[in-house]
């Protein structure tokens, strides 16, 4: 086993067998921005054997306060290419596939099929719902993350064991609360870093078959109070996505 993982292998819950599990595992990450940067970095560094990533955007100056897979020289480059390049330099022993496409309801299942786990790192609820529906259809667990200012939230979805994203955040209810005019939300680098890192940690727990403390919970992070809360959540028996 590569010496790069020696400090992980000595962890009792991982060991050499756990490291081999990670090497055989695959994760697809939607988004290579604020949440995707830490999530992708730590999954690659941990030795997850196959990582897919998708992002249709190009790097901009306003991204650089939080999206550390990109730097000033990457402005104008496709984020998928920029992120893939950095990850390959970080760990050239794993397989990394990049896609500069936009996730749609027509192509989501094609991208996700064959992966053990999907991790969401996108800032649009519309896209998050598309990802969620595709994951439920494919029976692949989904880790969803979102941030706003100093606040972050993470959800682990794996029906029928857990609720899906639609159960917890019904699109109709969100539509009532959301202004017709989309406003740009604040994004602090530390909030994105902590939330994306939590997503990566949950992914590693799942891939290693370790107890998942966020199963049937919604994790809320508040950077102003430096607090974490786990809120009980339940499946919606009338959910039109996971209870068909």
* pLDDT per position as a tens digit, 186-218: 889 999 999 999 999 999 999 999 999 999 999
Task: Inform me whether the pLDDT recorded for 173 exceeds 80.
Answer: no
CA distance linking residue 137 with residue 109, whole number of Å = 8
| Beta-strand pair 151-157/217-222 | antiparallel
Question: Average pLDDT in the 205-234 region?
Answer: 97
Contact predicate 96/87, CB 8 Å: yes
In tens, the pLDDT along 87-118 reads 999 999 999 999 999 999 999 999 999 999 99
Domain ranges of the chain: 3-232
**What tokens appear for 189 in the block?**
């680098």
Work out whether strand 142-148 and strand 151-157 pair parallel, antiparallel, or are unpaired.
Answer: antiparallel
Question: Alpha-carbon distance 95 to 21, whole Å?
Answer: 15
Q: What is the CATH number of domain 3-232?
A: 3.40.50.720
């Amino acid at each position: 086993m590569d010496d790069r993982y020696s400090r992980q292998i000595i962890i009792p819950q991982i060991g050499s067998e756990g490291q081999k599990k990670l090497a055989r595992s695959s994760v697809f990450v939607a988004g290579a921005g604020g949440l995707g940067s830490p999530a992708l970095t730590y999954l690659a560094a941990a030795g997850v054997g196959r990582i897919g990533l998708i992002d249709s955007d190009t790097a901009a100056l306003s991204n650089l306060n939080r999206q550390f897979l990109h730097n000033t020289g990457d402005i104008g480059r496709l984020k998928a290419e920029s992120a893939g390049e950095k990850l390959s330099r970080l760990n050239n022993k794993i397989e990394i596939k990049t896609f500069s496409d936009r996730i749609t309801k027509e192509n989501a299942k094609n991208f996700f099929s064959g992966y053990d786990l999907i991790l969401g790192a996108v800032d649009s609820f519309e896209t998050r719902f598309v990802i969620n529906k595709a994951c439920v259809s494919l029976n692949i667990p989904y880790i969803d993350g979102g941030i706003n200012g100093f606040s972050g939230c993470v959800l682990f979805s794996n029906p029928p064991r857990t609720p899906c994203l639609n159960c917890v955040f019904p699109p109709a209810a969100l539509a009532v609360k959301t202004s017709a005019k989309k406003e740009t939300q604040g994004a602090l680098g530390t909030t994105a870093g902590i939330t994306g890192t939590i997503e990566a940690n949950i992914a590693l727990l799942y891939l290693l078959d370790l107890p998942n403390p966020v199963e049937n919970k919604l994790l809320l992070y508040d950077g102003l109070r430096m607090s974490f809360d786990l809120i009980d959540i339940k499946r919606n028996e009338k959910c039109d996505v996971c209870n068909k």
